[in-house]
Amino acid sequence: MKCKLLLDARGVKENVNVVVEDGVIKDIGNSREGDEVDCSNLVVTPGFVNSHTHTAMIALRGYYDDAELQEWLQRMWDFEKRMSSRLMRLGSEIAILEMLSSGTTAFVDMYFNPEDIKELAEKYKVRGFAGYTFLDSMLDPEEVARRQEGLRDSKHFKAIVNVHSVYSVEEDTLKLAKELAESEGTWIHIHVSETRKEIYDVKRRTGRFPVEYLRDLGLTSLVNAVHLGWVASWEIEELKKARATTHCPTSNMKLATAGAFPFFEMMEGGINVTLGTDGASSNNSLDILAEMKNAVLLQRHNYWDTRIKAIHAFKAATVNGYKLLGIKGGLLEKGYAADMVLFDASLLYPLTRDRLLSNIVYYAGQDAVVATIADGVIYSRSELVQRRRKLGEELNRELEKL
Amino acid sequence: MKCKLLLDARGVKENVNVVVEDGVIKDIGNSREGDEVDCSNLVVTPGFVNSHTHTAMIALRGYYDDAELQEWLQRMWDFEKRMSSRLMRLGSEIAILEMLSSGTTAFVDMYFNPEDIKELAEKYKVRGFAGYTFLDSMLDPEEVARRQEGLRDSKHFKAIVNVHSVYSVEEDTLKLAKELAESEGTWIHIHVSETRKEIYDVKRRTGRFPVEYLRDLGLTSLVNAVHLGWVASWEIEELKKARATTHCPTSNMKLATAGAFPFFEMMEGGINVTLGTDGASSNNSLDILAEMKNAVLLQRHNYWDTRIKAIHAFKAATVNGYKLLGIKGGLLEKGYAADMVLFDASLLYPLTRDRLLSNIVYYAGQDAVVATIADGVIYSRSELVQRRRKLGEELNRELEKL
């Protein structure tokens, strides 16, 4: 496909062909082989990675918006005890369609239905990362581990170890999670240092801050640590060993956790910072375009200056996301995954090379996304909307049964 | 039109007919007279008011994103000296189409082309409020006043007095603006207490904080005061006399002004709080749906709790906005302006009465807007997008000439 403009974290290219074969970018340049999509009026970016979400929680969108985290979480857990497996699956499928609508081609999920994620990842060719979730108040950890061991990777799915948080599991559970991650050759996805209450409770219980506690259990290098609104400077040092950290600005603001994710210090320190929407119950959208913008907005508000720029958010959502996943993706480059977003160039005015990144991060909404390509498969905007409409009606009917 | 769900700041109605005649809601209820639009699968809300913007600055979108206000402003002013009248008008027209795309049916503009706003307001039947802008460093105040006196109201346009800020004009200019507003029977639109530098400079120059200074000049009751990130508690008291205050959360965050607009205290104190996107150069979108969400997000982050809820933002963007304008609008009620937004109900899942407000404020994007009705005239999403594409291309060509 001959494309008007290509944008990735390294910069802009004009009027180049992108050749895709078997889900991989075969060539970028003058070669015209395999041209299928007319991109002459499109802007192409890499697909985005949503590094932290709870897809099934679409069913909980708008259910309980006006509370801080602890109260909110209890409400979620109460609802989830009544949730049918049909409702979880519907939520996850709708979430994938919503994420594709805003250019997300890969995601990291924390919930209780990883087998659904596996099937849906294969169905839509998006990269799904999920696992059963350790959460001692709701689930027996031995049972979680047993199920997790039965979970197998497939082409588009990879099993990861989900641990809700250090405050919601026993130390033995954390040790079990570590063993599992190491024996299965995978990593751990965990909420860390999200609220002041968490810091206080963990400090009182263990004598350490949450990241210090992870360090002492030998977990740091295994984790994608999510939220981190309340970390100390020496914890940032320790997190340099982490696989990644994930910032969820919208969810943090909506739940009034009031912290300051140290975005700049982490990026400067070489930490692999990524972005996440969190779930539909605390965001309430799964729109990574909005998340890139909000990441810059919140950080500028926190730092009282403009040190965080569009490129930081764009890198976090593309190259850094794929690095977390261990997939060669996030750049428009020969040999990289054919996960891409096609934007309507006519809507990205003023359209200049200089302003392109800004227009994608600060201005482009879902309405400017013409199509998303996941592993070489093209999903048009209208197709995604049609599917969401249909499944949304099903979701409404399913919820009425509760 | 028979509509699935109606939502305004008072609550939700189900399966009712909305009858429109001559740009006014003639009836809401069972009457089926004049049915034209099939709303059986649509959610209807009042149109939104963008109470602070600079429409012509579409041309400056993405031009200079990474600076704090004072440096940024100087860059804007430098660019504006080179701006053609054609570029301003194109920007304003595109801005109106963008605002309609996200449900905005009325707006308050501060720029140098109010005659364009008047023509465009009549062309699109949106409610435009604009005036020449007092800004002593760029324009002779006598000249501004002379032009302003030549500006006449029309059906969809009302002349207001724009003053850039207390720090960018002389005291005599503020007095002149007051005289003008009083003699013309209109009000004053002004940036107030946006940055710490402004507070410091005004205090040093006048011995007073900006709102105290407005008070002493007898201006408070005449103003829509915009930004107010840095106000003292006694200034909030004084602002109870104001016509309105406008919160621009996205712009404030992006420019790292770092203040805390006292949203809750103002609403509790009976101040008519409204919302604005600010211009495309500091936002960078003109999407009031995003602004409602960001208003809640920023305030929750500032207050460290969830006291600000969806209803506050929704009220600010609807009833409060129309109150500022002096137009009977912002509610879905007999005798009110036929300014409305039609959302695709199938995309607002989970669709229940309880979750509707949340889904509009926290989740619905432009892609869920099927059409916007301004003064009884219907604009479909696809029509708006087509027009934006066409004018966007013109804008690109015009910018290349600079």
In sign, the C-alpha dihedral spanning B364, A246, A197, B264 is negative
User: Are A231 and A262 spatial neighbours (Cβ–Cβ below 8 Å)?
Assistant: yes
* Selected residue of B349, B361, B363, B381 to mutate for chain A interface (largest A Cβ count, 10 A): B349
Chain A contact present for B41, CB below 8 A: no
Task: Walk along chain B (402 residues) and give the pLDDT tens digit of each residue.
Answer: 778 899 999 999 999 999 999 999 999 987 777 656 778 899 999 999 999 999 999 999 999 998 888 899 999 999 998 899 999 999 999 999 999 999 999 999 999 999 999 999 999 999 999 999 999 989 999 999 999 999 999 999 999 999 999 999 999 999 999 999 999 999 999 999 999 999 999 999 999 999 999 999 999 999 999 999 999 999 999 999 999 999 999 999 999 999 999 999 999 999 999 999 999 999 999 999 999 999 999 999 999 999 999 999 999 999 999 999 999 999 999 999 999 999 999 999 999 999 999 999 999 999 999 999 999 999 999 999 999 999 999 999 999 988
Q: What residues of chain A, 218 to 277, have a C-beta less than 8 Å from chain B?
A: 250, 252-256, 258
The minimum CA-CA distance between A379 and chain B, rounded to whole Å, is 16
What is chain B's Cα-based Rg?
Answer: 20
* Selected residue of B87, B299, B301, B305 to mutate for chain A interface (largest A Cβ count, 10 A): B301
Domain limits, CATH 3.20.20.140, in chain A:
48-325
* Selected residue of B7, B87, B97, B297 to mutate for chain A interface (largest A Cβ count, 10 A): B297
| Answer CATH for A48-325 from 3.20.20.70, 3.30.70.1350, 3.20.20.140, 3.30.450.20 | 3.20.20.140
- What tens digit of pLDDT does each residue of A293-308 get? 999 999 999 999 999 9
ipTM: 0.97
Chain B contact present for A385, CB below 8 A: yes
Beta pairing class for A39-46 and A24-29: unpaired
Of all residues in chain B, the one with the smallest CA distance to A349 is B392
User: Are A292 and A314 spatial neighbours (Cβ–Cβ below 8 Å)?
Assistant: yes
CB contact under 8 A, A385 and B363: no
Chain B contact present for A284, CB below 8 A: yes
Residue of A338, A252, A334, A324 lying closest to A294 (CA atoms): A252
Beta pairing class for A24-29 and B133-134: unpaired
Q: What does the alpha-carbon distance between residue B44 and residue B318 come to, in Å, rounded to a whole number? A: 13
CB contact under 8 A, B349 and A393: yes
Chain B contact present for A101, CB below 8 A: yes
The token duo for A394 is 């099903």
User: What is the CATH number assigned to the segment(s) B2-47+331-388?
Assistant: 2.30.40.10
Q: List Cα–Cα distances, B380 to B97, B103, B369, B370, B372, in angstroms.
A: 11, 11, 9, 6, 7
Does A268 have pLDDT greater than 90?
Answer: yes
| Mean residue pLDDT across chain A | 96
The minimum CA-CA distance between B228 and chain A, rounded to whole Å, is 15
Domain limits, CATH 2.30.40.10, in chain A:
2-46+332-388
Q: List Cα–Cα distances, B209 to B83, B188, B235, B265, in angstroms.
A: 34, 19, 8, 19
Indicate the fold that domain A2-46+332-388 takes in CATH. Urease, subunit C; domain 1 (2.30.40)
Does A192 have pLDDT greater than 90?
Answer: yes
Domain limits, CATH 2.30.40.10, in chain B:
2-47+331-388
- What tens digit of pLDDT does each residue of A364-376 get? 999 999 999 999 9
Q: What does the alpha-carbon distance between residue B110 and residue B133 come to, in Å, rounded to a whole number? A: 7
Does A398 have pLDDT greater than 90?
Answer: yes
Q: List the beta strands (DSSP E) in A39-132.
A: 39-46, 48-53, 104-109, 127-130
Of all residues in chain A, the one with the smallest CA distance to B359 is A62
Total CB pairs under 8 A between chain A and B:
185
Nearest by CB: A393 against B101, B310, B346: B346
* Paired residues of A163 in beta bridges: A134, A190
Nearest by CB: B349 against A63, A250, A396: A396
